[in-house]
Amino acid sequence: MSMVRQRKGERARSGRAGEAWDPFPHADPEAAFDAEASPPAAEKSDTLVIACGALAKELLAAIRLNGRSHLSVTCLPAILHNRPERITEAVRGKIRANRHRYRRILCLYGDCGTGGRLDEMLAEEGVERIEGAHCYAFYAGLDAFEEMMEEEIGTFFLTDYLVRFFDRLIMEGLGLDRHPELLADYFGHYRKLVWLAQAPDADLEQRADAAAKRLGLPLERRLTGLRGLEAFLARQEAAMAQDFKPLHHSR
């Protein structure tokens, strides 16, 4: 599993997993779940968001906190990030399986290592995705992420979910639990660990500290909240309202 941070214009990929409150079985990052959920007591949805399972908890929180009852969510397994060549067709399958049920479909994926193929497919299908090559960029903000890369390209990033499942996704996923001698090969060129925190708590703080110690890197925490997700959803709501704005005829 590769977790490479790259400069402007380059693609990045990551191995991640997600959780929700809990319509999805996110305790297992490899769960091949295929389910839909709307916030509790939601009205009939007219928009579907197809998301990476790594983002489910944060996406559903953004929907719930802002009363976006018109949105439904369906997630693909986050383990697809280990095989990014499969992401494009998996998302296409979701689009085509649900197109007849919703007026609008949105995609909550970065490029995620697809080398532009995801964007090409989404253009063919007429579906818009969130801006950014990966979740680190749209959590931090595109400009802020580029500034961090310019400041120190040797930065390893974690989100809340990567902090929560660090041992499973990083240590075990890279085989470092079995071959600790590979740690320098994977992380020898990194200079710091940045935790992009969506909703930090005491447990995550401890886990982030432990992760930094395991990697031998200084830890920097940057609180991002859900701004990136909320901004994307708000823009889409505004566009949708304009698309379906009734015509007023003068008399």
* 200 phi-psi bin (left φ>0, alpha ψ -120 to 50, beta other): beta
Q: Do the beta carbons of residue 122 and residue 181 sit within 8 Å? A: no
Find the Cα–Cα–Cα–Cα dihedral 139, 145, 149, 152, rounded to 10°.
Answer: -70
Q: How far apart are CA 232 and CA 2, in angstroms?
A: 27
- The string of pLDDT tens digits covering residues 24-61 is 444 455 554 444 444 443 445 689 999 998 898 899 88
Q: How far apart are CA 166 and CA 181, in angstroms?
A: 18
More confident: 214 or 248? 214
Alpha carbon distances (Å) from 142 to 73, 131, 133, 151, 171: 24, 8, 9, 14, 28
Highest average pLDDT, of 19-23, 38-42, 104-108, comes from 104-108
DSSP reduced 3-state for 31: coil
pLDDT, average across residues 73-89: 89
Radius of gyration of the chain (CA): 19
Q: Which residue has the tokens 């998996």?
A: 90
pLDDT, average across residues 66-85: 84
Q: Do the beta carbons of residue 155 and residue 149 sit within 8 Å? A: yes
**pLDDT-wise least confident of 6-15, 64-73, 102-111:** 6-15
Q: How far apart are CA 233 and CA 210, in angstroms?
A: 34
What's residue 63's pLDDT?
87
Q: How far apart are CA 240 and CA 103, in angstroms?
A: 9
**Strand extents, DSSP E, the chain:** 36-37, 47-52, 71-76, 104-108, 128-129, 155-158, 192-197, 219-223
pLDDT tops 90 at residue 19: no
What's residue 54's pLDDT?
87
What's residue 46's pLDDT?
85
Query: What are the structural domain ranges in the chain?
Result: 36-243
DSSP sequence for 190-232: --EEEEEESS--HHHHHHHHHHHHHHT--EEEEE-TTHHHHHH
Q: Which residue has the tokens 């919703």?
A: 102
Q: Do the beta carbons of residue 69 and residue 44 sit within 8 Å? A: no
- Distance spanning both ends of the chain, measured CA to CA: 64
pLDDT, average across residues 73-100: 91
Token readout for 234 is: 């708000």
pLDDT, average across residues 98-119: 94
Count of positions (residues) in the chain: 251
Comparing C-alpha atoms, which of 229, 76, 84 is closest to residue 159?
A: 229
